[in-house]
Chain A
Amino acid sequence: MRVELTINGAARALDVEPRMTLVDCLRDVLGLTGTHVGCEHGACGACTVLVDGVPARACLMFAVQAEGYAITTIEGLTHTRGALSPLQDAFCATHAMQCGFCTPAMILTAHALLAENPAPTRAQIVAAISGVICRCTGYAQIVEAIALAAERARAPAPGTR
């Protein structure tokens, strides 16, 4: 089935089976492997992408349903090759990851949170990321990264910490 998707600002015309999920389409058809598959039943959140700027699970959406929405993946956050966004940099500053498998989903979720709420409280950060499961970190350094990114955006300061 013919479908036109808008991925990270670019229009992509593809031919997919209706049963292909958005995450499989991103990964297997478009080669955007930064979006990860953890459970395929909407429980772990590893496949989170932004649909019109809002986090959504790409395993719970068929690619054919995604037509007409602006889909943002982790690849869409780095505009310059080799340069991280301030949020991604904050994740590195606090070592907000270990294996890196849930990391793109966490970062996209945090990206959407900060776009809507530039000064979230700890509780708001926790609530925002609670739909994405991380098995490695116990979340503390993720929460700290998001708070750090928010703080830096409010008072941009050079250097790290």
Chain B
Amino acid sequence: MKAAAFEYSRPETLEEACAILSGAQGARVIAGGQSLVPLMAMRLERPARLVDVARIAELSFIREEADAVIVGAATRQCVIEANRVIAVRVPLLSRAMPHVGPAATRARGTIGGSLANADAAAEIVLVAVTLGAQMTHRRDTRLRESGAAAFFTAPGITTLPERSCLTAVRFPAWPEPGLGAGFHEIGVRADDFPLLAAAAQIALDAQGRARRVAIGVGGLAATPLRLDALAHALIGRHAEPTAIGDIVTEALAAVEPLDDMRASGAYRRRAAATLVTRALGDAAAAAATAGRRGDDAR
């Protein structure tokens, strides 16, 4: 299992990286390499050139804006995991991070690498879809944006244009105080790639009812699904697991689930409902706690 031969460049700047990408046939961006290198080792990917962006400073940042948190594409997953701004303003991303592989791959893996490689089971992809993140990418000198909903088309496939470099991900930061998130997944083994994952972020009103909700489920279909109708149906309700189980099951009834050797479609649908319910319950509980903390601070 040795990768096919390739050329290697480690440009200092984004501009230089983009210039190399647009000038070379078959060049690919590498950052942490945690998704790409296994594929290269099995020769399922064989780029002619790797453009290493891991150390380009302008790709590694976490920036807070009024209505968003923007994360540089080469920001390492362990950095995101430990970041306070993300914990408060994009709690779902924070909550999902401990589930992303073992710590040893989070130490090197980047957010952009996870998104660009779009593994069907990747937690970060699910969070991006659930929250409606915007991907910024650059080809030559041109910057473009893609919404997460349209970005992931199939396992391992994105609409990232050829010769482009993903530069940043913009996660909407909800204005409501007291956000909460929940993330549940199951795999064959406790810390394996998940078979199914559910992500939820909630803002509650003063009465503890859902005011804004985002829900997503991964592993049920070929790409993560954002469950907008369900989110809408929950507005104005209490999201305790006992209260919402039926609505969740109903919402998932319409989904045509994957059915393969790992799990039947029926299993996926049922288990997804359970995970979504639990994620919502956790999110609501976390939001209530965050809300109380916020009140105390005032």
Question: Which of A's residues lie within 8 Å of B, judged by CB?
Answer: 1, 17-19, 21, 24, 40-43, 45, 48, 51, 54-57, 59-62, 64-65, 67-68, 109, 127-128, 130-132
From B3, B50, B108, B190, contact of A56 by CB (8 A): B108
Which residue in chain B gives the minimum CB-CB distance to A65? B52
Contact A131 B102 (CB under 8 A): yes
Q: How far is the CA of A42 from the CA of B5 in the complex (A)?
A: 19
From B4, B10, B78, B105, contact of A60 by CB (8 A): B105
Contact B104 A57 (CB under 8 A): yes
- Is B60's beta carbon under 8 Å from chain A? no
Q: Which residues of B contact A131 (CB under 8 A)?
A: 101-105, 191
Q: Number of B residues contacting the other chain (C-beta, 8 Å)?
A: 30
Q: Which residues of A contact B54 (CB under 8 A)?
A: 65
- Is B107's beta carbon under 8 Å from chain A? yes
Contact B105 A42 (CB under 8 A): yes
Contact B104 A109 (CB under 8 A): yes
Contact A19 B5 (CB under 8 A): yes
Q: How far is the CA of A59 from the CA of B3 in the complex (A)?
A: 11
Contact A62 B191 (CB under 8 A): no
- Is B41's beta carbon under 8 Å from chain A? yes
- Is B1's beta carbon under 8 Å from chain A? yes
Q: How far is the CA of A19 from the CA of B48 in the complex (A)?
A: 11
Contact A64 B10 (CB under 8 A): yes
Most buried by A among B50, B104, B108: B104
- Is B2's beta carbon under 8 Å from chain A? yes
Q: Which residues of B contact A17 (CB under 8 A)?
A: 5
The 8 listed contacts between A and B (C-beta, < 8 Å) are: A1-B8, A19-B4, A21-B37, A21-B41, A57-B105, A62-B33, A65-B30, A131-B101
Contact A55 B104 (CB under 8 A): yes
* Known A41-B1, A65-B52, A130-B191: A18·B8 in contact at CB below 8 Å: yes
Question: Which of B's residues lie within 8 Å of A, judged by CB?
Answer: 1-8, 10, 30, 33-34, 37-38, 41-42, 50, 52, 54-55, 78, 101-105, 107-108, 190-191
From A40, A56, A68, contact of B104 by CB (8 A): A56
Q: How far is the CA of A128 from the CA of B105 in the complex (A)?
A: 12
Which residue in chain A gives the minimum CB-CB distance to B5? A19
* Known A56-B108, A131-B191: A41·B38 in contact at CB below 8 Å: yes
Most buried by A among B10, B105, B107, B191: B107
Q: Which residues of A contact B101 (CB under 8 A)?
A: 131
Contact A45 B30 (CB under 8 A): no
Which residue in chain B gives the minimum CB-CB distance to A19? B3
Q: How far is the CA of A68 from the CA of B107 in the complex (A)?
A: 16
Q: How far is the CA of A67 from the CA of B1 in the complex (A)?
A: 23
Instruction: Beyond A57-B105, A60-B34, A68-B55, list 5 extra A-B contacts (CB 8 Å).
Output: A41-B42, A45-B102, A60-B108, A128-B103, A131-B102
Q: Which residues of B contact A19 (CB under 8 A)?
A: 2-6
